[in-house]
Structure 1
Amino acid sequence: MDKLQRKERVAAIIKILSDNPNKVFSLGYFSDFFGSARSTLSEDISLAKKVVEYLGCGKIETLSGAAGGVKYTPGLSEKLKSEFLNELCEKLSSPDRIIKGGYIYMNDIVFSPDISSKVGTILAAYFIDKNVDYVVTVETKGIPIALMTANALNKPLVIARREVGVTEGSSVSINYVTGSSKKIQRMSLGKRALKKGSRCIFIDDFMKAGGTANGIVELLKEFDCELVGIGVLVEASADKKLVSDYISLLTLDMVDEENGKIKIYPTTNN
């Protein structure tokens, strides 16, 4: 195969790195792959950095030392993030999304690959420095968002279930109380799902009072694991939360069924 030109190598480097977020590739890997000198590849990577920075889609870093190399961390610039979240609020504000009981229809949002991918990228940025081992969620509509967050962090996704199947082996189950309705729920997780002492984040699509998140905290204790972060797409503003340290991207302030109005806006996270 003929050697690639510089612009072709830069495109290929960006493709390889973006397909493997937060994975470190050595210069030797690219040198062998392209049949090019390391000094040449260093210049290529510098150009790739500029392209990613221009597009506002994350960053490419070079790491020094014996275990050094280059990696891509997904992200959105503040401008792109703001535009995306405002567009999402506009979509979710449509009166035809109102469901009886003061809820809004979100299935088309969370199951959209494009939207859930961007949501996962934004959420992952909040936890990139937490040394996360696993992303944890429950078997609800939050799975696509949690999966995209796990992808951006390049970490495994673990799903707590209402009932664990026989293929997962022996399991640990707990009962927890929901924050809003005060109902007793059950969640289970296979004993092989998590390694002892792991650091986890919990990702979900919606938080009302935080009962599920609080249940995850208790479940992780059974595995001697630590919950180091919570991230949700939407939080309800009216309910008192059972958890205090969390990130939400959007805040649902009001659903007026009678007048067909929804008030939702981007959350200001400190």
Structure 2
Amino acid sequence: MSEYYELKLGPLQRRLPKITLHPELTIASFVLLGDAELTEYAANALAQKLAQTPFDYIVTIESKGIPLAQALSEKLKQPRFIVLRKSVKDYMVAPVSVPVHAITTSADQQLVLDGTDAKLLAHQRVAIIDDVISTGGSLKAATDLLAKADAKVVVQAAILAEGDAAKRDDITYLAPLPLF
């Protein structure tokens, strides 16, 4: 088995190292942070797909979705996006949280929404944006957290849909990413 997976996204190619998480699961490690070219390409492609769905705010999950949310906000003329954090920060006012388990993190975590942002999102339509959707655990936690804030999720999108996520019809993505 090759040590790398060759990802093709439009005109771009990336060589992703294969990482074994446990004996039955190996992933192609996709790290968007620092890849300005791929972020820009993905933001343009997702902006075209999301232009048909009206929403009020982009919401992303800390941390790898942040550059994509920033670029998408600029392209879609969204003046602000919201970041769901993975821990409570001292500056947060009345934070709201839910537990989350992600495929790439061994310990359970939490997703946290600052109470100030929760008030802003109440009764608003939101687009959840992330770099990769895999098992859907983070996406489900984000949806649950946004429901606590009385926000309505109208679209869920990512650059890549990993493994069985590529079979889902409730997400928008640019390319599949296999599991090994």
What are the superposed Cα offsets for residues 76-122 of structure 1, whole Å, 9 maximum, x if unpaired? xxxxxxxx82433x424x6xx22233122333x44222220121121
Consecutive unaligned residues in structure 2, runs of 5 or more: 1-7
- The structure-2 alpha-carbon separation of the partners of 1:86 and 1:244, relative to structure 1 and needing over 3 Å to count, comes to closer
1:167 aligns with 2:91: yes
Consecutive unaligned residues in structure 1, runs of 5 or more: 1-83, 256-270
Partner of residue 55, structure 1: none
- The structure-2 alpha-carbon separation of the partners of 1:98 and 1:228, relative to structure 1 and needing over 3 Å to count, comes to same
**What letter is aligned with 1:100?**
T
Q: How far apart are the structure 2 equivalents of 1:123 and 1:110?
A: 17
**Greater RCO between the two (CA within 8 Å, min separation 6)?**
2
Indicate if the aligned counterparts of 1:206 and 1:235 stay in contact, CA closer than 8 A.
Answer: yes
| Greater C-alpha radius of gyration | 1
Q: What is the aligned counterpart of 2:133 among 191, 195, 207? A: 207
CA RMSD of superposed structures (Å)? 2.7
Task: Answer with 221-230 or 176-185: which moved more.
Answer: 176-185
Q: How far apart are the structure 2 equivalents of 1:180 and 1:115?
A: 21
Q: How far apart are the structure 1 equivalents of 2:142 and 2:179?
A: 27
Percent of paired sites with the same residue: 22
Q: What is the aligned counterpart of 1:104 among 28, 50, 57? A: 28
- The structure-2 alpha-carbon separation of the partners of 1:180 and 1:209, relative to structure 1 and needing over 3 Å to count, comes to farther
Partner of residue 114, structure 1: 37
Q: How far apart are the structure 2 equivalents of 1:244 and 1:177?
A: 22
Indicate if the aligned counterparts of 1:209 and 1:240 stay in contact, CA closer than 8 A.
Answer: no
Partner of residue 153, structure 2: 227
TM-superposed CA distance for 1:234, in Å, is 1.2
Runs of 4+ that moved beyond 3 A: 176-185, 238-241
Paired residues, what number?
Answer: 166
TM-superposed CA distance for 1:167, in Å, is 1.8
Higher strand share: 2
